[in-house]
Amino acid sequence: MTRLRGKFIVFDGGEGCGKSTQARMLAEKLAAARLSVVLVRDPGTTHIGEQVREILLNPLHVEMNMRCEMLLYMAARAQMMSESILPALADGKVVLCDRFVSSTLAYQLGGDGLTEHDIRAVAEIALRGRWPDLTVVFDMPVERSIARVKRVKDRIEQRPPEYHEQVRQNYLRQARSDPRWYRLVDADRSPEDVHEDVWKLVSSLASEGEAR
């Protein structure tokens, strides 16, 4: 598992898919294996990122344009890359990220005419070219994933089921079109069963070569 040092792993998927739980479970297991792990959330983690997160998820901001939304996510991401992710990777730590550019390619794609090219071009600037080594997408039916969200829903979560179904399809499309860097996991199971699959994927990554 020492070859995981300096690896960047993203956990992503629709609302209520369990990605945050799985990220925490993996962080604990890797720490038990004596690896240094940094767990971050997108948007957020940094002082600036958390303030941007509050703006993005506030249900009162109904007037927010989709291009503004995309750029705010990227701005928070750029700060997190500079302040948290890149230094951690340089130190040989394993970085686990709860959401990332894959979310923008699922949630903002097509809004106000945004294309995949538009999103990736801005992401390249925000990320300084350092893309994840592995993106794990947790997939499950929308009606079941949304039902898992028990707290008051944020601005994004409040969007209609049709929107969230399109988000799911956008995730599936990403995974199909880029199988080298994406892996799909069936999230409609117990956390323990899902974690077993995640551990297999991470173990496979540990046996691969240099970082992306």
**Where does the pLDDT of residue 151 fall: very low under 50, low under 70, confident under 90, or very high at 90 and above?**
confident
The domain containing residue 122 runs over which residues? 2-206
| Within-domain flag for 211 | no
Taking the model in full, what pTM does it have? 0.95
| Within-domain flag for 26 | yes
Say yes or no to pLDDT of 212 above 70. Answer: no
Say yes or no to pLDDT of 47 above 70. Answer: yes
Residue 28: C-alpha distances to residues 34, 39, 61, 199 (Å): 10, 10, 36, 12
pLDDT, position 211: 54
Task: Specify the number of domains making up the chain.
Answer: 1
pLDDT, position 208: 77
Q: Percentage of the chain surpassing pLDDT 90? A: 95
| Within-domain flag for 212 | no
194: CATH: 3.40.50.300
| Within-domain flag for 142 | yes
| Within-domain flag for 23 | yes
SS (H, E, C) the chain: CHHHCCCEEEEEECCCCCHHHHHHHHHHHHHHCCCCEEEEECCCCCHHHHHHHHHHHCCCCCCCCHHHHHHHHHHHHHHHHHHHHHHHHHCCCEEEEECCHHHHHHHCCCHHHCCHHHHHHHHHHHHCCCCCCEEEEEECCHHHHHHCCCCCCCCCCCCCHHHHHHHHHHHHHHHHHCCCCEEEEECCCCHHHHHHHHHHHHHHHHCCCCCC
Model confidence pLDDT, tens digit, residues 62-104: 999 999 999 999 999 999 999 999 999 999 999 999 999 999 9
Q: Within 10 Å of residue 64's Cβ, how many Cβ atoms?
A: 14
| Within-domain flag for 65 | yes
| Within-domain flag for 122 | yes
| Within-domain flag for 120 | yes
Say yes or no to pLDDT of 158 above 80. Answer: yes
